[in-house]
Chain A
Amino acid sequence: AQSVAQPEDQVNVAEGNPLTVKCTYSVSGNPYLFWYVQYPNRGLQFLLKYITGDNLVKGSYGFEAEFNKSQTSFHLKKPSALVSDSALYFCAVRDGITGGGNKLTFGTGTQLKVEL
């Protein structure tokens, strides 16, 4: 069975500082990992994904994430946070084993608050 954990319900950071939103996962095969962002009263928007290849993935709005197989982690990062980055962030995983299907498992979400 696949699972994903976001250990922090909320992350607070000052504008201009680097931010990290944590995500760990568990799968049987190789993971397909995704980050989504949700702004208030909106649907989820895709940020980035890791399927294979370079462990450092760059995505939208200056975000990036690093796949770490030994630590089973896929933390979301940004070098310099903006107030407009304040939103709810979801990590999601899909097991890459054959027959795993299209089912994504989402984490519980981390509320990011960027303050001036």
Chain B
Amino acid sequence: DAGVIQSPRHEVTEMGQEVTLRCKPISGHNSLFWYRQTMMRGLELLIYFNNNVPIDDSGMPEDRFSAKMPNASFSTLKIQPSEPRDSAVYFCASSIGQWKETQYFGPGTRLLVL
């Protein structure tokens, strides 16, 4: 199994630009999670989906952030417009969906907004 796949691995952009992060969960997993990791705030859950439906987006910082999951094998996290304080590592994780199950993390996207 290829594991959770994220792209791009690194992204450098200028303030005000749109950024799109992509995630392919493990096949057969029906829950998908987006996290953000920074030195100051640690690991934060932004949003999670179950069966492609957003369940909890209370961690999304503000309206500049949006996430979609159009099908079971693909999700995007979009930031528009981006700001320097959005610089962080963004992780996608997936699980089988039952709440006892382990979440498996992707390698992350390191985002730098100048």
Query: Which residues of A line the B interface, CB within 8 A?
Result: 32, 34, 36, 41-46, 49, 51, 90, 94, 96, 100-104, 106-109
5 shortest interchain CB distances as A-B pairs: A43-B105, A44-B105, A106-B43, A43-B107, A108-B42
B103 touches A104 (CB 8 A): yes
A102 touches B43 (CB 8 A): no
Query: Which residues of B line the A interface, CB within 8 A?
Result: 4, 31, 33, 42-43, 45, 48, 50, 55-56, 91, 93, 95, 97, 99-100, 102-108, 110
A43 touches B108 (CB 8 A): yes
On whether A42 and B107 interact (CB within 8 A), knowing A101-B56, A101-B99, A109-B42, the answer reads yes
Indicate which residue in A49, A96, A109 contacts B102 across the interface (CB closer than 8 Å): A49
B105 touches A102 (CB 8 A): no
On whether A102 and B104 interact (CB within 8 A), knowing A32-B99, A94-B99, A109-B42, the answer reads no
Which chain A residues border B42 with CB–CB below 8 Å? 106-109
Which chain A residues border B56 with CB–CB below 8 Å? 101, 103
Task: Report the minimal beta-carbon distance from A114 to chain B, rounded to whole angstroms.
Answer: 22
The docked-state distance in angstroms from the alpha carbon of A102 to that of B33 is 9
A46 touches B43 (CB 8 A): no
Residue of A nearest to B41 (CB): A108
Residue of B nearest to A51 (CB): B100
Can you name 4 extra interface pairs (CB under 8 A) apart from A42-B107, A44-B91, A109-B43?
Answer: A32-B100, A102-B99, A103-B45, A103-B56
On whether A43 and B91 interact (CB within 8 A), knowing A90-B43, A102-B50, A108-B42, the answer reads yes
On whether A102 and B48 interact (CB within 8 A), knowing A43-B91, A90-B43, the answer reads yes
